[in-house]
Amino acid sequence: MDITAVHFAGKHGNLSLFNIYNDCTHNKVLTLLSLFLSSSIHLMRPLPGDHMLWVGDFNHHHPLWEMPYNKHLNFSREYIQLLLDLLADHNMELTLPPGIPTFQSLADNWTRPDNIWQSHANTDPIIFCDVDVSLRPSLADHLPVITKVELSIPRSPTMSAHDFHSADWRIFHKALTERLHTTSLVCLITSKAEFHEKVADITVAIQEVIATDTIVPLQKPCLHRKWWWNNNLKWLKAQRQHACNQAYKFRNIPDHLAKVEVACLSREMDSSICEVKEDHWKEWLDTINACQIYLANKYAVRKPTNFAYDRVPDLKMVINGTDTIVSTNAGKAKALAESFFPPPLLPFPPG
């Protein structure tokens, strides 16, 4: 889907966020956005003080946001007028400051196809909006745009947990042995009560060693962490982030050494990720049981081209009284919409 929208409502009021991708060869997405807002703006902004954000790759170039040296990329007035009219009709303002490039072409030319727009209001919910070159993925041509929005939404606290993956098990074994020698000596167990007491002593000793942060480090849980991620990739990422910052800083200097370093580190990180993923896959295959063979086969034979489709399995819905399997994106979206948002019940007739 080229348009994704999410609506936030709370003490801060209402905030509607549109994630938009507009193809560079046509304005169909912008036309759909115009039709939707013309009929549903009261849902997106119920009150005059509510906010609306448009973010994404608009694939439009204009002097309002494009760099002066890219004036040859500016679109004709007929082609860009639809976007300009939309911005004017809904009183949208540029959030990402003009002149900041977001895309690096193969010819090492920096352009601005991506944009962030916000509706004009008495209060500004945007705290920060800028590109972060250090977060640019390897072999990617677009720069990440970081936008911080002030939303007074309560969050559950994130508790730190021990990172057993990074623990030094040789030090752990040595510390546990020393602790057991002082707190739980080897003895002959003659009763059930002595057995439970010995188990409790060993459990306490293990937990005390785990609680030592120098042996098993603490870390906050990350929702996006990958099981195959390791310290070598972490080091490569840090080196590449530094090189990306330098290359972006000296982007106007042709053949700067930082650009070569970014290319080399990007290729090295990409190949390292592929190797680590393959090793993790083989290690997982060696440890699966009989019940997981079908799952392994599913992972092996299913090569996704649309990752949104790969995450949502085929759905079953009733059409004209007949059970029907839905496999297309449009059909899945319709099935989910009808399931979560059924039509309202008709009121009972009076009397």
Can you state the percent helix, strand and coil of the chain, rounding each to 5? 45, 20, 40
72-76 long-range contacts, Cβ below 8 Å, gap at least 24?
Answer: 73/111
Contact 206, 162 (CB under 8 A): no
Which position has the token pair 């190949």?
271
pLDDT in tens, 195-232: 999 899 899 999 988 888 788 888 877 667 788 888 89
Instruction: Tell me the CA distances in angstroms from 295 to 46, 288, 300, 302, one per residue in order.
Output: 47, 10, 9, 11
Rounded-to-integer distance, Cα 110 and Cα 102, Å: 7
pLDDT band (50, 70, 90) for residue 154: low
CA angle 188, 192, 194 (to 5 degrees): 50
Residue type, 260: V
Q: Residue 217's pLDDT is what?
A: 85
**86 shares its domain with 129:** yes
| Count of domains observed in the chain | 4
Q: Residue 101's pLDDT is what?
A: 92
**54 shares its domain with 105:** yes
pLDDT in tens, 2-57: 889 998 887 777 889 999 999 888 889 999 999 999 988 888 888 888 889 999 99
The closest of 224, 231, 230 to 280, measured between CA atoms, is 230
262-291 burial: b if 16+ Cβ within 10 Å, else e: beebbeebeeebeebeeeeeeeeeeeeeee
**131 shares its domain with 179:** no
Last residue of a domain, one of 171, 196, 219: 219
pTM value is 0.60
Within a domain: 350 = no
pLDDT in tens, 246-301: 999 898 888 889 888 998 999 999 999 999 998 988 888 888 887 788 788 777 77
**97 shares its domain with 213:** no
**176 shares its domain with 244:** no
**108 shares its domain with 142:** yes
Q: Residue 92's pLDDT is what?
A: 92
**143 shares its domain with 258:** no
More reliable by pLDDT, 341 or 242: 242
Distant-in-sequence, close-in-space partners of 126: CB < 8 Å, separation ≥ 6: 95, 118, 147, 148, 149, 150
| pLDDT over 70 at 1, yes or no | no
